[in-house]
Structure 1
Amino acid sequence: MEFKEAVKIALQSLWANKLRSILTLLGVVIAVTSVIAVVTLVNGARTYVTTKFSRYGADVFTVSKMPQIITSSEEYTRFQKRKDVLFDDYLYVQENCKRCVAMGAMQSTVGLIVRGTQSVTDTQIRGYTWQMPSLQNLNIEQGRGFTEADEQHASRVCIIGTDIQDHLFPGINPLGQEIRVDGTPYTIIGISEKQGSTFGQSQDNWVGVPLTSYQKNYGTQKTLTIYVKAGSSGPVLDDAADEVRVLMRSRRHDAPGAPDSFELDENNTLVGFFDTITNSFGAVAGGLALIALVVGGIVIMNIMLVSVTERTREIGIRKALGAKPRDILIQFLIESGTIALVGGFFGVFGGIVVAELITIVAGFPSAIALWSVLLGLVMAAGTGVFFGVYPARKAALLDPIVALRAD
């Protein structure tokens, strides 16, 4: 029998027994949907995190009061008891670090931005030293960034995200215009490139002001994050990080042998930690999907056994007309593989739909990986073939004389 004819018979069988076909395919559809949805969401999250941290560059590390990733409430409570990282700490490290190519600091809070009768709420207000935008690879699309003079004189100038431009200056060039940041007037000197949204939260609803100006309004005795550029990754980065660690421990009077009273985070470490988490999550989800796939395969095997029983006389006629056992075996394997592959197609579509719905509703990033689509289809077809071997072999070994006597 030709391959095309065997596929045609399989599809006709599916169409002739619609309810049975739906129940047969359900396990495969659920399994493939799970695989595609999980891989799509994990791939989206990994892409986002990698992009977020790599934006700072592989040669940039941070010093802060608390780590950027906290895994328990106990850790949060312990880190909260640490002393704040203050502006004086930043100045001390800046003056004494010999291996640091560039350095900046940032503080942030959430506030209200007003222009005339219009306002934007829940805006992130960032206090930047003048080098910070370049350390974060933040591109200024219009206007300019901060200068050292802006920082020294605590100038009331600011850089805005595109959300501020869209909401407060529709159709108007905001450069040179004035806005009020928590009641303080600032003149707009730059507009950042659009960064989009992640996890349902816009990344463009922010205003950056010189750190010295920021501290005049919000105080100096609040923790900040220090960004350090080493100039190169690898040993150069490690040497710079070690020097900064020694300076910070000396500045904060950490006792010999005692743990650091601050956190020094490297981007590669953070990305690696997140990869470990997502890989573990993917492994667990993959295991559950595999169980669903096995259940679907058992259902396919059961239905194929029923099909062999129903078509015993047909098998006998084919053998009487010259079909070899190998032909019968291949026919039923193609049928079981086709049934599973149809379930795989529905599963791929369902997985993409589920992932996109989660992205729309929860803002969780997703990114469709072609390899996951191919993997889902291969898994489905492989399941159909594997669990179709026993029914196909049973059909191939039927005695044609006994088969022709069947009702």
Structure 2
Amino acid sequence: MPNSFNPNNLGVVFLKLVWESLRFAMQALKSNLTRTILSLLGVTVGIFSIIAVFTLVDSLEKNIKSSFTFLGSNVITVNRFQFVGGPDYPWWKYFRRPYNTYSEYLFLKDKLRNAEAVSFSASANTIVQAGSNSYKGTNLTGVTYTYQDVYDLPLQSGRFFTEMEINSSRNVAIIGTKIANTLFPSGNVLGKEMKIKGAKFTIIGIFEEEGEGLFEIASKDMAAMIPYGSFTKLYYVGKNGIEPDIAIKGRDDDIGMVAVENELIGALRAKRGLKPTEEENFALNKSEFIMNTIGSIFDVISAAGWVIGGFSILVGGFGIANIMFVSVKERTNIIGIQKSLGAKNYFILFQFLFEAVFLSLIGGVAGILIVFSLTFIQLGSLELILSFKNIVLGLGISSAIGIVSGIVPATLAARLDPVEAIRA
């Protein structure tokens, strides 16, 4: 049957369309290179603007969030204040809230059934010394034995505290790589002694190097850790002193930590003797609060990137449309010949539409390559990474620009009368 549908013809037609469109696109580039480059410049600048902003935002967001890894994942901390407060957050109201106590930690550790682990800690900035060397700005933290069960504490060398060392408040310490390199330039740190406020501490471990971040205060490279009992010998913890933290790690099967949070609220209210009509005199903070706030900030920045790049893309779209209108005008005679030889309207339509997409993709790829070249620039602790998602996004936007810009010229070309077109 001569009129029967042959699916193989679709593949042949498609390949023919692609080849013809690519060939004509290359001819358009060669015939007037300056005009074409200037027209594609808008697409290149637009794609560069959007993808550059997204790449910067993604890299910056990743860097900032990694700086807050010390908060842990799936962790709730009990504090007097909220990490993130809204515009109506009466921070002044909570100064009279009680500090966390060690007895509350022991109570929660015994009562919470939905918690993976509960820890107690307190921190202070101090100076550590070894011989004539010293390191200022050390983030010293006193911890309980369960601290390692709540937070990830990878060690480069050495070990964590034993339960006996914690319970007997021995003067042992784990330090960061920056402190180790400063105090002991020659190496061989383990087993050496350093002084904290005049007290000698034996170094039993070194934290794994984290590198510099945007928030260096959170880096373990500049941190030192000692047993909580040893910490209380050096600093006053509690009211009018250093504020301690209680941290609770939820179970992996407790989505959103709903169960452990409800259990924690009930247990802590009971421990503090709060009546049902009284509001909580504590704040529960999750690392997700900060992460969500950071994400919302960068969502606004991303929206600004769309606006900035959108104007350039609009100009680029007009440039592609201009090229296509000129191309239709120059090839009117060829269109008439193709139609007289049996070319269908859809063939002419897709031929010009594909050509517009190809031209737009050339501009888009140029913009993406410029962004990729920027990732090799050293920006200190900020590492720019062009993700596969952003590459696909750039190519997708370029294709959309080509389709929108080429649809009108392609439609006009498809509707040309073959007789009139041949006479042109």
TM-score scaled by length of structure 1: 0.80
The AA in structure 1 aligned to 2:280 is: D
- What is the correspondence of 1:6-405 to structure 2 with a 5 Å cutoff? 6-14=21-29, 17-44=32-59, 45=61, 49=65, 56-58=72-74, 60-70=75-85, 75=89, 77-78=91-92, 81-83=95-97, 85-88=99-102, 90-91=104-105, 93-94=107-108, 97-99=111-113, 100-170=115-185, 172-181=187-196, 184-199=199-214, 201=216, 202-220=219-237, 221-231=241-251, 233-234=253-254, 237-252=257-272, 254=274, 256-267=276-287, 271=291, 278-279=298-299, 282=302, 285-286=305-306, 289-290=309-310, 292-312=312-332, 315=335, 325-353=345-373, 360-361=378-379, 363-364=381-382, 367-399=385-417, 402-403=420-421
2:370 is paired with a residue whose SS is helix
Which of structure 1's runs of 4+ aligned residues deviate more than 6 A?
none
Give the Cα separation in 2 of the matches to 1:349 and 1:78.
52
Give the Cα separation in 2 of the matches to 1:195 and 1:262.
32
Structure 1 residues 333 and 239: alpha-carbon distance in aligned structure 2, compared to 1, 3 A threshold: closer
1:248 is paired with a residue whose SS is helix
Structure 1 residues 123 and 12: alpha-carbon distance in aligned structure 2, compared to 1, 3 A threshold: farther
Deviates more, 1:32-41 or 1:375-384: 32-41
User: 1:314 Cα shift?
Assistant: 5.5
Deviates more, 1:189-198 or 1:88-97: 88-97
Give the Cα separation in 1 of the matches to 2:100 and 2:280.
15
Q: Give the conservation status (yes or no) of the 8 Å contact 2:125–2:138.
A: yes
User: 1:55 Cα shift?
Assistant: 8.0
Percent identity (aligned): 30
Q: How many correspondences in the alignment?
A: 402
2:379 is paired with a residue whose SS is helix
User: 1:135 Cα shift?
Assistant: 1.6
Give the Cα separation in 2 of the matches to 1:198 and 1:178.
28
Deviates more, 1:27-36 or 1:38-47: 38-47
User: 1:134 Cα shift?
Assistant: 3.0
Give the Cα separation in 2 of the matches to 1:142 and 1:114.
20
Give the Cα separation in 2 of the matches to 1:71 and 1:15.
59
Give the Cα separation in 2 of the matches to 1:341 and 1:236.
43
User: 1:381 Cα shift?
Assistant: 1.5
Q: Give the conservation status (yes or no) of the 8 Å contact 1:175–1:190.
A: yes
Give the Cα separation in 1 of the matches to 2:347 and 2:255.
64
Structure 1 residues 320 and 231: alpha-carbon distance in aligned structure 2, compared to 1, 3 A threshold: closer
1:198 is paired with a residue whose SS is coil
Q: Give the conservation status (yes or no) of the 8 Å contact 2:67–2:213.
A: no
Structure 1 residues 323 and 191: alpha-carbon distance in aligned structure 2, compared to 1, 3 A threshold: same
Task: Let me know the Cα RMSD of the aligned residues.
Answer: 3.8
The AA in structure 2 aligned to 1:344 is: G
Q: Give the conservation status (yes or no) of the 8 Å contact 2:138–2:222.
A: yes
Cα deviation 1:144-163 (Å, max 9, x = unaligned): 21233333443221111223
User: 1:129 Cα shift?
Assistant: 1.9
Q: Give the conservation status (yes or no) of the 8 Å contact 1:196–1:204.
A: yes
1:122 is paired with a residue whose SS is strand
Give the Cα separation in 2 of the matches to 1:241 and 1:381.
48
TM-score scaled by length of structure 2: 0.77
Q: Give the conservation status (yes or no) of the 8 Å contact 2:156–2:208.
A: yes
Give the Cα separation in 1 of the matches to 2:382 and 2:89.
25
Cα deviation 1:326-361 (Å, max 9, x = unaligned): 44433322221111101211222334455675xx53
Structure 1 residues 81 and 127: alpha-carbon distance in aligned structure 2, compared to 1, 3 A threshold: same
Cα deviation 1:117-142 (Å, max 9, x = unaligned): 44444332222222213320212342
